[in-house]
Amino acid sequence: MEIQRVSVIGAGQMGSGIAQVAAQSGLHVTLVDVDEARVNKGLQSIEKNLGRQLEKGRLTEEQKEEILGRLHPLTDLAVAVAEVDLVIEAVVENKQVKADLFRQLDQHAPVHAILATNTSSLPITEIAAATKRPEKVIGMHFMNPVPVMKLVEVIRGLATSEETFRVVDRLARHMGKTPVEVQDFPGFVSNRVLMPMINEAIYAVYEGVATPEAIDEVMKLGMNHPMGPLTLADFIGLDTCLYIMETLYEGFGDSKYRPCPLLKKYVAACWLGRKTGRGFYVYE
């Protein structure tokens, strides 16, 4: 099956990034969210990103307009997925919300359509069980920011068919990404390795080992990381970090995944990082 029409559900940072990359690769994309304000905000973000590429000489004005012409904003989910070959869900990282959405997608999308989730940690098998086509449900975990980062974790659920995997693997390459096959375990590979490191860095702050600045400096200079774990946590969103740690803790039942109390405290205070102006650092 060749993918030509894609619907991206969720016009936030991840969803708009996925929609942009899909449109740049020549696909026709419907970008969907619950209201026009959110969809328009997503489109504005895409236009801004394309404008930067234009300024740097990576795109011509004609190419930019062609890409934008392949993007179609919608708020009606049923209409948005009625004639697509693939749906990529990029809504809030909540198991119940995703399961409810996949029930609707299963009802409204064509029988041949593949349903993909951009979840960063939730079980693909459970999400697929909400549908009558579990063999056509798969994980496509893009990295943030999507237009820049090359990796896509392609995660098979228990029932995901070989054909579904092959189609999605080929599509990811067509979108200029490097797909890596991963099995369906909590956190997959990326967050199973990354989040405990971030959590341990937070414990180091919590226990007074060092300041956030010092911890980030050690990891940048000593381990050659492009940014420190606490800066990265603020960028990801501390609420998202906490949710993933809780998913790992629940999924494995291992104390090494226990979220740091300081992380819980920051989230309770709505110190969520860059998006709220305060996390481990203060943002003007």
Mind telling me the catalytic residues?
Answer: 120, 141, 153, 191
**Which run of H or E residues covers position 175?**
none
Sign of CA dihedral 259, 263, 268, 274: negative
β-sheet with 5-9: strand ranges across? 71-74, 28-32, 5-9, 86-89, 114-117, 137-142, 151-156, 178-183
Contacts 24+ apart (CB under 8 A), 205-210: 205/230, 205/262, 205/280, 206/260, 206/261, 206/262
What is the C-alpha separation between 89 and 104, in angstroms, rounded? 12
DSSP state, residue 273: B
Buried b (16+ CB within 10 A) or exposed e, 225-235: eeebbbbbbbe
End-to-end CA gap in the chain: 48
C-alpha of 162 from chain center: 23
Bin 163: left if φ > 0, else alpha if -120 < ψ < 50, else beta: alpha
What is the C-alpha separation between 83 and 218, in angstroms, rounded? 51
